[in-house]
Structure 1
């Protein structure tokens, strides 16, 4: 972790890793938490494997949907780690994403109360990191992580 280039977030989710993983890998679950409410998410593509795509759309009214993210998964270690970037789109073409290019690493590990959920979002330069922070990284990613936790914690355990 480089504090000049990276932003981080950590939360204990009171659910097993399998529930958190499912919320990340099932499109119908993913769209319930990926975008801060009250906005609505539509998943166009969620192919959680190395080289797979992540394409979502955003709507403020539930009717008109606009592009949100077009990214590629780089690393997927089942139940442990997901790494994706918006610097390469879902067709594996170089991208110039707005508002900032980033690579996000999500790690899941066991915790006595459920799952230790950690996010590191890496940026190419301090200006991109600062821009992402100014745009509300902690509020936005914090809110969707809370939404993820609510969803995962509401699932019955086996």
Structure 2
């Protein structure tokens, strides 16, 4: 497991128990067809262009309001991949390994899946370079956005686990 030290001036985080196994949650993060079902808050639609879940691999998604025209959403790289337990990616570097000027805010996101008696201890830590960037991300709706996609992730994997 990783050091979960959170710097309240730079980091935003959330935690939730998901009533499905860590392997189910991992698959929802690492299989494009599953990721497309929850990665962007509804009613938006996600398209996964690249999901190379290896250190240095690209993570590229697009979004659409109606499933028609898709526009860029995520263009990032995975920094750390610990199979079934931990993903770390950043949008500060593009999938082409070029320095990015990410909109709306540069971040490094860490997803940690732990065992829990009811399923998965799901944790997200999103790190920012400055307190101002953290505050901006929070003002843009971090908790609503990441909270709603985490709820959609939980709904997907919990439904699959109970089927």
TM-score by length of 2: 0.95
Indicate the SS of the match to 2:54: coil
Deviations 1:129-156 (A, max 9, x none): 0000000000000000000001111114
1:23 to 13, 20, 28: 28
1:64 aligns to 2:69 (yes or no): yes
1:45 to 31, 46, 50: 50
8 Å Cα contact 2:59/2:78 also seen in 1 = yes
Aligned match of 2:152: 147
How many residue pairs align between the two structures? 158
Deviations 1:25-70 (A, max 9, x none): 0000001000000000000001111010000001001101100010
1:135 aligns to 2:145 (yes or no): no
Indicate the SS of the match to 2:15: strand
Structure 1 alignment gaps of length 5 or more:
none
1:104 to 109, 127, 142: 109
Structure 1 segments, 4+ long, off by >6 Å, are none
RMSD across aligned positions (CA): 1.1
> What is the distance in 2 between the residues matched to 1:128 and 1:3?
12
Aligned match of 1:122: 127
> What is the distance in 2 between the residues matched to 1:156 and 1:10?
20
Structure 2 alignment gaps of length 5 or more:
1-5
Deviations 1:53-101 (A, max 9, x none): 0000010011011000100000000111000000000011110100000
1:10 aligns to 2:10 (yes or no): no
> What is the distance in 1 between the residues matched to 2:74 and 2:26?
20
8 Å Cα contact 2:54/2:80 also seen in 1 = yes
